Structure 1
Amino acid sequence: MKRRLRILAVAVLAVVASVAVYVQPASAAVGLHISGRTIVEANGQNFVMRGINHPHVWYTGQTRAFADIKATGANTVRVVLGTGKRWGPSNDVPQVIQLCKQNRLICVLEVHDTTGYGEEGAAASLDEAANYWISQKANLVGQENYVVINIGNEPIGNTNAGQWTAATVAAIQKLRSNGFQHLLMVDAPNWGQDWQYTMRDNAQTVLDADTLRNTVLSIHMYAVFNTAASITAYLDTFQRNNWPLVIGEFGWQFNSGEVDHNTILAEAQARGIGYLGWSWSGNTDPILDMVLNFDPAQITTWGTRIINGANGIRATSREASVFGGGPGNPPSSSQPSQQPSSQPPSSQPPSRGCSATYSVTGQWPGGFQGEVRVTAGSAAITGWTVTWTFANGQRVNSHWSATITSSGAAVTARNVGYNGSVGAGVSTTFGFLGSWTGTNSVPTLSCTAT
């Protein structure tokens, strides 16, 4: 987190010669886990994080942010929590996890109190962070498919960065000895930027300390990483040694000498590395806000670049398969934080046809999010078309998991390649973002199948 962005005048050192390649054994953990240097889901499908940091602990009332972040196409949200030593305490972990799942986002939960330990006098230790996670164990066990535990944010400052290795090993082992099977994420020292290369040079020791071999390392890229050379050299070492890595935070080049975000985005995409941009909104210095005042209509230059730019979220994110996403599926936005207001099916499924159910899953002034569930009848179908007519001037502005065309108030939605074949009695869904004024009534749907 960069409520105060630290700009470090550090020369990038030459990368040391490669050590023997690390071959990580298959994880014994459940849910999200590491295979080689890649995060995979329980079913073995690769999962590459494309997400956004959300400063929840300081803005606990901004729950709509989860839906708004999902609407960017993100598949992950990194959520700021506090132990109570500096911020919080965050006792709403079950509600946060539910918001993530409801919005089909993988949930990276992080303790922020550890930021700058050793240099920042008020910071919590990694051991204290581990104790917080243990206090939340009942809320976390069983969520391994959906939750990543980021033990502590930027856990060591620039004072005695070498203490990071022992402290990180101890925190990992403490969580494992207390029965946690989740994918663990560990941040680098030097306020996350690892400019002294403590994490880089001790990665093997930390990864070996995890009895489940289920830890991913996280680098935060700000002013230290202001050139393409510094970024590629750092990432090269991790790739060469087969070490799992994500870019857990980064900003953008708003001034000369700041982070080279274009290289970060391009290299992450080329290497299959996850990234999580800082941050959605609410920064003391709004230059790092993706939207102002938590309003997606007030998107900033940074927000435009990371969401809509080349190698950005909308172009490269793929939803986790645990939510129904799959290889080649387009970015998906669905189920915001408001309580869904489902409507009954417009008709019962005919024997060799389909029916469709329309739901308004979230609504705000001038906008809403809709979902349509298509259910096959007593026989499998290979394609479907859903039509309806809006009665109150509503419009579809964007959509996913369907091809949607409009002619005035009339709307036609057809399946895309991956969701046309539906088994007997089985359902699939598609969604859209729309606009409305005055009244947002539910239309009557018609479904035809092939």
Structure 2
Amino acid sequence: MRPRTARTAGGVLLGLALSLFGPGQPALAAGNDADAATGLHVSGGRLLEGNGNDFVMRGVNHAHTWYAHELDSLSHIKAKGANTVRVVLSSGDRWTRNDALDVANVVSECKANRLICVLEVHDTTGYGEQSGAVSLDRAADYWISVKSALEGQEDYVVVNIGNEPHGNTGYQNWTADTRAAVQKLRAAGFDHALMVDAPNWGQDWSGTMRADAASVFSADPDRNTIFSIHMYGVYDTAAEVQDYLNHFVDAELPIVVGEFGHDHSDGNPDEDAILATAQRLGLGYLGWSWSGNGGGVEYLDMVEGFDPDALTPWGERLFNGADGIAATAEEATVYGGPGGGDDEAPTRPGAPTASGVTSTGVTLSWAASSDNVRVAGYDVVRVNGSSETTVRTTTGTSATVTGLTPNTSYTFAVYARDAAGNRSARSAAVTVTTRQGGDGTTANCSVSYKVAGQWQGGFQGEVTVRNTGTTAIRDWTLGWRFPAGQTISTMWGGTPGQSGADVTVRPASYTAAIPAGGSVTLGFIGTWNGSNTSPTAFTLDGGACSVS
């Protein structure tokens, strides 16, 4: 491991991610009375449910304490296939305190959406190095203050005592501080599975948690502690990922990947190796993070603007890629997952109807399905002969499909899914032919154009494209005609093409998605001769935009 000082995403901003356990430590786990356990518990180095079923976390982090109004995100996370969500809370020392009433509501929403709930206090992040960060002892006091919201929830809740509780200064105190916090909670009557984060902003480049995990586990009178490693720039090779996780597996200590991303400012983590190794070893993982990142790490958002239908490339990779959540997550049996008794599939949804057809998109709507427990979401598929491709997942009964080819026929159908993962029969299909590009149809956009500066023979132009619709616009093409023979010499925010007076622009990677109600701005340097009259008409994906 190489010491690196850059902080993790969870340390700079919001939340965490988790993963679960490798084969446990028989000598240590022997003290854990699995038969007496009433909820989630470690036995033999594995995380088990109260009924003894092995449970492997597959989920994401959600920054609740900063986005308390986005609690609907839990249903959207579930609809993507997750079985666990790690929820960011605050003790009130650095951010607004999440009181017992709010914690109880979060737990209730996790249960309503059939998710295992990992709750963490974020105020400990970078203690010893980060100004204002508080100790694990202070975090333990917070948990004790909201204990009433957690009593009786041992089947559903893991208590992650504190996020990244030591930075790169004073991390040598991690072992003693962690032992003391675990014992304080046990003395206060907490029977929950506890999770503890590594020092060094969660990345344990010093090997402190790696060396002392066994002694911390032994210090827990319930032998019910799980270790969480956050994998960012320190874990930029498959060898480093495998070495760290294999160490815990070989030592039979429970380990989870508590946070990770596909990229970061301190290096490029090997997310493929993290996912593949966790799957091979049967370890849990929680990716960072659902939405709402800022401060330069917006690229770690899994969806844009909390819109479940606007997956980013990172979200697409984590949910739908190899060894990802959709392919590997199994719902906890306490909710009726595998072995839990819910084997009844939802009813067949109604055939979709098409509206809002443009040259590159269509909105589909259908009659709802029903289920003996609850319909969790719908999968919209494109049908091509005997093959299918999932093009949208949604919790509602409508979805907008974009990125289609003009003047092309497509056939779509819908499946319903319940919370246990059962899938309905496929709906009847609908065939839609997209419009011919540039046919004058109206798009959900408005465009403003201005000359930001002008000099003899040259000028700087600025074009702002606003999405006036209700769903994100992706991978777009903007078009306009210069009325006075102007030409573009260089552009930022997009890549221009010009044929005579006609201009087409394709987006840069950071402008490729325009969220609903949002906008992107392009800048360029151009030339003019005689006059510099502004264009008056713009198209987006062949449809006309209003001009503001």
TM-score (norm 2): 0.60
Aligned equivalents of 1:272, 1:195: Cα separation in 2 = 23
Asked if 1:242 corresponds to 2:263, the answer is no
CA contact (8 A) 1:173 1:209 kept: yes
What is the CA distance between 1:160 and its match in structure 2?
A: 1.7
Write 1 or 2 for the structure with the bigger share of strand: 2
Aligned equivalents of 2:344, 2:252: Cα separation in 1 = 30
CA contact (8 A) 1:317 1:331 kept: no
Q: Deviations over 1:342-399 (max 9, x none)?
A: xxxxxxxxxxxxxx899xxxxxx9689754128xxxxxxxxxxxxxxxxx99973443
What is the CA distance between 1:256 and its match in structure 2?
A: 10
Aligned equivalents of 1:148, 1:320: Cα separation in 2 = 13
Q: Deviations over 1:186-240 (max 9, x none)?
A: 0000000000000000011100010000000000000000001111111111011
Aligned pair in 2 of structure 1 residues 195, 330: CA closer, same or farther (>3 Å)? farther
What's 1:182 paired with? 192
Aligned pair in 2 of structure 1 residues 34, 371: CA closer, same or farther (>3 Å)? farther
Alignment of 1:183-262 (within 5 A): 183-253=193-263, 257-262=267-272
Alignment of 1:286-435 (within 5 A): 286-326=298-338, 370-373=369-372, 396-399=414-417, 400-407=421-428
Aligned equivalents of 1:265, 1:252: Cα separation in 2 = 11
Asked if 1:135 corresponds to 2:135, the answer is no
Aligned pair in 2 of structure 1 residues 329, 293: CA closer, same or farther (>3 Å)? farther
SS of aligned partner of 1:173: helix
CA contact (8 A) 2:118 2:159 kept: yes
**Farther off after superposition, 168-177 or 250-259:** 250-259
Aligned equivalents of 1:321, 1:30: Cα separation in 2 = 14
CA contact (8 A) 2:56 2:283 kept: yes
Aligned equivalents of 1:329, 1:309: Cα separation in 2 = 28
SS of aligned partner of 2:285: strand
What is the CA distance between 1:326 and its match in structure 2?
A: 1.3
Aligned equivalents of 2:153, 2:145: Cα separation in 1 = 15
Aligned equivalents of 2:343, 2:58: Cα separation in 1 = 10
SS of aligned partner of 2:372: strand
Q: Deviations over 1:300-327 (max 9, x none)?
A: 1100000000000000000000000015
Aligned equivalents of 2:342, 2:268: Cα separation in 1 = 32
Q: For structure 2, which runs of at least 5 residues remain unmatched after alignment?
A: 1-7, 14-24, 350-363, 374-396, 400-412, 431-548
What is the CA distance between 1:128 and its match in structure 2?
A: 0.4
- Percent of counterpart pairs with the same letter? 51
Aligned residues: 352
Of structures 1 and 2, the one scoring higher in RCO (CA 8 A, sep 6+) is: 1
What is the CA distance between 1:403 and its match in structure 2?
A: 4.0
Q: Deviations over 1:150-187 (max 9, x none)?
A: 00000000002110000000000000001100000000
* Equivalent position amino acid for 2:290 in 1: W
What is the CA distance between 1:405 and its match in structure 2?
A: 2.3
Aligned pair in 2 of structure 1 residues 370, 216: CA closer, same or farther (>3 Å)? farther
Q: For structure 1, which runs of at least 5 residues remain unmatched after alignment?
A: 7-19, 335-355, 359-364, 375-391, 410-450
CA contact (8 A) 1:318 1:328 kept: no
Aligned equivalents of 1:236, 1:331: Cα separation in 2 = 36
Aligned pair in 2 of structure 1 residues 5, 177: CA closer, same or farther (>3 Å)? closer
SS of aligned partner of 1:95: helix
Asked if 1:2 corresponds to 2:23, the answer is no
Structure number with larger C-alpha Rg: 2
CA contact (8 A) 1:282 1:294 kept: yes
Aligned equivalents of 2:345, 2:243: Cα separation in 1 = 35
What's 1:54 paired with? 62
Alignment of 1:271-286 (within 5 A): 271-284=281-294, 285-286=297-298
CA contact (8 A) 2:345 2:424 kept: no
CA contact (8 A) 1:26 1:34 kept: no
What's 1:414 paired with? none
* Equivalent position amino acid for 1:24 in 2: A
- Among residues 175, 178, 182, which one is paired with 1:165 in the alignment? 175
CA contact (8 A) 1:318 1:332 kept: no
SS of aligned partner of 1:205: helix
- Among residues 126, 134, 158, which one is paired with 1:124 in the alignment? 134
Q: Deviations over 1:254-283 (max 9, x none)?
A: 789410000000000000100000000000
* Equivalent position amino acid for 2:83 in 1: N
What's 2:76 paired with? 68
Alignment of 1:33-112 (within 5 A): 33-91=41-99, 92-112=102-122
Aligned equivalents of 2:345, 2:9: Cα separation in 1 = 27
CA contact (8 A) 2:10 2:288 kept: no
Aligned equivalents of 1:274, 1:225: Cα separation in 2 = 17
Aligned equivalents of 2:253, 2:330: Cα separation in 1 = 22
Aligned pair in 2 of structure 1 residues 333, 212: CA closer, same or farther (>3 Å)? farther
Aligned pair in 2 of structure 1 residues 197, 402: CA closer, same or farther (>3 Å)? same
* Equivalent position amino acid for 2:61 in 1: N
Aligned pair in 2 of structure 1 residues 240, 331: CA closer, same or farther (>3 Å)? farther
* Equivalent position amino acid for 2:44 in 1: G
* Equivalent position amino acid for 1:180 in 2: F
Aligned pair in 2 of structure 1 residues 41, 167: CA closer, same or farther (>3 Å)? same
CA contact (8 A) 2:230 2:257 kept: yes
* Equivalent position amino acid for 1:186 in 2: V
Alpha carbon RMSD of aligned pairs, Å? 3.0
SS of aligned partner of 1:406: coil
What is the CA distance between 1:408 and its match in structure 2?
A: 5.1
What is the CA distance between 1:22 and its match in structure 2?
A: 4.7
* Equivalent position amino acid for 1:68 in 2: H
